[in-house]
Amino acid sequence: MRLQGRRFVGRRQSAGEAKTVNAMAKQDMKAAGEGGSVWSRVVVESGRIFFGALDKLFYCLDTRGNLLWTFRTGDRITASSVASKGRIYFCSMDGHIYALTFDGKELWKYRTGDSMYSSPVVYDDVVYCASMDGYVYALSCADGKLVWKFHVGSEIGTGIGILNGRVVFGACSGTVYCLGLDGKMLWDYKAGEEFQNYGGPLWIHEGVLFISNTNRYLYAIDSNGNVKWKYFLNDYPILTTYRDTLYAALSNGELLAFSLSGKVLWTYKFPTKASAVVSDGKALYASCENGDFYSLSFNGTLLRKEYLNIGDFVVWPVVHNGIIYGGGDLCYFYALDPKDLGILWKFATSNPVRSEWRMVGFAPEKEEERKKKYYGRPTLVSEKMAYVDGKAVVQEQKFSEAYSSGATTYFKTGVYEQGSGPSGYQMGRKRAER
């Protein structure tokens, strides 16, 4: 039986389906970094929702959560996509950048020398992208032919951005580069530590590049390479802007709001790591790793908090026509209502296994320590569900304990405390045959 991602519907799993999900989960958990998580930033265009996932699929949904089509690549997709003139462009860890129509037809693909996890950008009918082979590529949007490529001598760890008609990006060598549209270097800024944003977009606002690196500084750099200001964050941020404010959500749960001149306007402390901050013009919204969803005022006071009962983390949410869209760690894509912070619908990707980062260079025992610190949550294996008054209610969930030798246990709602048999449960995923 082939499992396919689909919109969450009210049919209870059969025993056969649960067994299939179990087999998939046990098999795929051995694959480092693979699974069904959605880490890329969504694009909503012409009534369609586009995103890539760690199951190697690129998805297109309608705004009601119905699957329109998928496109399979040769490896995981972590980078955000970009839409332009009826085409969607995205990069895959298989080393290709793809150009598709909005109907899912492949127009062209271009093979680079290594994996790709940086987000591309389109400007003047040219798509700019980067590869782990250390090159930035400029390709014709029309046919995918190479216009030029530029080598920096190290991996390129950020997305590509356009700053006042110039191509900018950060490299793992610790350097920010600025190129002309002809591929010639205009300037570089050496900060000394690697720049990396793990597939997220490069953030540019009001003619300023906002970027951070592993020395835990936030930099504001203008189009001439001048550092307007920098701020020591003591942590790694997810950056977004809204109107005249820059928001930095840190992995320790702290949210900082900056003026564009670098002044800290206010801070807010979430209990766990939070997502990028988005706004519908009425409030600010953020998802937390513990499953809470928050709305804040524009001066940083709490307006509302709701536990969405999904135990998930919407990494890169966006707002479109008053709806919050975003993908999660636990292999779902969501549409959320900012009015009551409720779930309008959710869509399951094809693989129920939560994806995990695997850091290169750690000794095995150090890697286990790191995983326990950052990925202490178990992986969902199967669940039993029922519908009461039209709402999904989880009766029982079974998890594979993430860091034991495959032992199965139960966990209670939200905090993942060990429970006693079927009495421990948490709202989560449903898989069904398509």
pLDDT at residue 159 above 70? Answer: yes
E strands present in 10-81? 43-45, 48-52, 57-62, 67-72
Beta bridge partners of 185: 179
Mean pLDDT along residues 113-119: 90
Confidence of residue 65 (pLDDT cuts 50, 70, 90): very high
Average pLDDT, the chain: 78
C-alpha–C-alpha distance, residues 375 and 265, integer Å:
32
Distances (CA, A) of 269 to 251, 310, 328, 409: 11, 21, 21, 32
- Which one has a higher pLDDT value, 238 or 147? 147
The CATH class of 36-326+340-350 is mainly beta
Across 189-193, 298-302, 332-336, 422-426, least confident range: 422-426
Beta bridge partners of 284: 279, 296
> Quick count: other Cβ atoms within 10 Å of Cβ 269?
10
Residue carrying the six token digits 């992208």: 129
What are 171-223's pLDDT values in tens digits? Answer: 888 899 999 999 999 999 998 778 877 667 889 999 999 999 888 899 999 99
Q: How much is the pLDDT for 429? A: 30
pLDDT at residue 352 above 70? Answer: yes
Give every CB contact of residue 290 below 8 A, 6+ residues apart in sequence.
Answer: 271, 272, 311, 414, 415
C-alpha–C-alpha distance, residues 190 and 173, integer Å:
8
pTM of the model: 0.76
Confidence of residue 310 (pLDDT cuts 50, 70, 90): low
Q: How much is the pLDDT for 357? A: 58
Dig out the tokens for 347 from the structure: 């869509």
